Structure 1
Amino acid sequence: MGRKRTLERYKNIFYLACSIGLMLFASGCQYNYYPQFTFETVEGKKGRAHLVKAEEKIQKQDFKGAMIENRKAYEYFQPELKQEAIFQKALIYAHPENPAKDFEKALLCFDLIDQDHENSVLTCNAPLVLSILKQAIRMEAVAENKTHGLETVHGRLARKQKENQILKKEKAQQEELIKKLERQIRQLKKIDLDSIKDTGDVQHE
């Protein structure tokens, strides 16, 4: 019971952290990460358009489509802006509702973000959110490993119980066979005794 509550707590923390990250992303805060770059280039505008489309698809839980739009945004952005696409990609990988979520890839994306650069994507409260997200992802990974471990243990116990049931059944069959043989032996002994008695009676006559 305690393990179950622990796994549920990890899951709640993870959902909360991802929700905060997605709210910050949806607020448009990330589009001001580079004040000296204003998306005025054709490539920048196209990149931003795909980034917005990706966000819309995230809201609709179309994560596959969101990843496609994210890749297009990354291709259009100049090097200084690519971290925005990487940040969004990390959130897609880490999204709680994404059936293809991958915590390791999310962490790799987060690690690619330059936190120390003066034009870093991590402005506003993003550094705190990033820290929470990374910790939550690690906790979720630990929780999943524990769950897998419990499933493995339960699987072993189930196999052991099945083996015990088979052994009990075989033992019961053996005991029944022994009882049957004992009955046959008693019947044979009775037949022999009756035969000896009949032979003695005949000789006596």
Structure 2
Amino acid sequence: MGGERTRKGKYFFLYPACCIALLLGIWGCATFPGWAKTPLAKGERRLARAKTLYAKGEYAASLKETHEVLRIYYQTLGNKALMQEGLIYACPKNPEQDYQSSLKSFRRLIKEFPRSKERAQAEVWVTLLQEIVDKDIMFQQEIRNKDSGIAELTKQNSHLKMTLKKEKARVKELESQVQRLKAQAKISDVEAEKLKEQLLRLKEIDLGIEEKKSQAK
């Protein structure tokens, strides 16, 4: 539960962070009205549109527009487009949130635009996201370990149930054998009594014969 609370705390921190980054980007565009007259006006407008879509929660459309800016204006606006791409992927409200893709965007910005003003911000995001990813990996590993432990306990429980079932069957068989032996013992007692009676009769017969012999003499 502690790990889950930590992860939620990290996610909560991303909300204001994403909003601040977005506001800085929009403010930067709005502060210099002369930007629309430059050769890059179209690219800047498209990037501004991507940020507006992002602010409205239209993440898929914002990402598509950002990719177009990155493709067409890579040399001049690539750093800003990569920054925007990373923010879109990192946003907790984005249904397609992907920390690995966000890290990839920020690392690409750092590598391909090392002198851009966005580099410092990208480095902060890389540190933050990497920490979240690492903790998430640990959290998932803990879940797998617990699941593995539960599976092992379930397996042991099934084995014990099977063993108990076999033992019960064995006890039942032994009880049946005992009943059969008792029945046989009763039969033996009856037969013994019958034999005794037969012996007594034979003795009586012998005595009768002896008496007759004595009388005959």
> Shared fold by TM > 0.5?
yes
Q: CA deviation at 1:41?
A: 4.9
Give the equivalent residue in structure 1 for 2:176. 184
Give the match's secondary structure for 1:113. Answer: helix
Within 5 Å, which residues of 2 pair with 1:167-182? 167-182=159-174
Give the equivalent residue in structure 2 for 1:105. 101
Asked if the contact 2:47–2:66 (Cα under 8 Å) also holds between the matched residues in 1, the reply is yes
Instruction: Determine if the alignment matches structure 1 residue 38 to structure 2 residue 35.
Output: yes
Structure with the bigger RCO (C-alpha within 8 Å, sep 6+) is 1
Q: CA deviation at 1:21?
A: 2.3
Within 5 Å, which residues of 2 pair with 1:83-122? 83-113=79-109, 116-117=114-115, 120-122=116-118
Distance in 1 of aligned mates of 2:98 and 2:125: 13
Q: CA deviation at 1:99?
A: 2.6
Give the equivalent residue in structure 2 for 1:29. 28
Give the equivalent residue in structure 1 for 2:186. 194
Distance in 1 of aligned mates of 2:183 and 2:117: 99
Q: CA deviation at 1:152?
A: 0.3
Distance change (3 Å), C-alpha of 1:175 and 1:192: same
CA RMSD, Structure 1 to Structure 2 (Å): 2.7
| CA radius of gyration, larger in | 2
Instruction: State the AA in 1 paired with 2:156.
Output: N
Alignment TM-score, normalising by the size of structure 2: 0.76
Instruction: State the AA in 2 paired with 1:20.
Output: I
Give the equivalent residue in structure 1 for 2:212. none
Give the equivalent residue in structure 1 for 2:145. 153
Instruction: State the AA in 1 paired with 2:49.
Output: K
Distance change (3 Å), C-alpha of 1:61 and 1:47: same
Structure 2: runs of 5+ lacking an equivalent: 198-217
Give the equivalent residue in structure 1 for 2:64. 68
Alignment size in residue pairs: 194
Within 5 Å, which residues of 2 pair with 1:121-160? 121-122=117-118, 127=120, 129-160=121-152
Distance in 2 of aligned mates of 1:67 and 1:159: 42
Alignment TM-score, normalising by the size of structure 1: 0.80
Asked if the contact 2:109–2:122 (Cα under 8 Å) also holds between the matched residues in 1, the reply is no
Give the match's secondary structure for 2:35. Answer: coil
Q: Deviations over 1:55-83 (max 9, x none)?
A: 22222322211111112222342622222
Structure 1: runs of 5+ lacking an equivalent: none
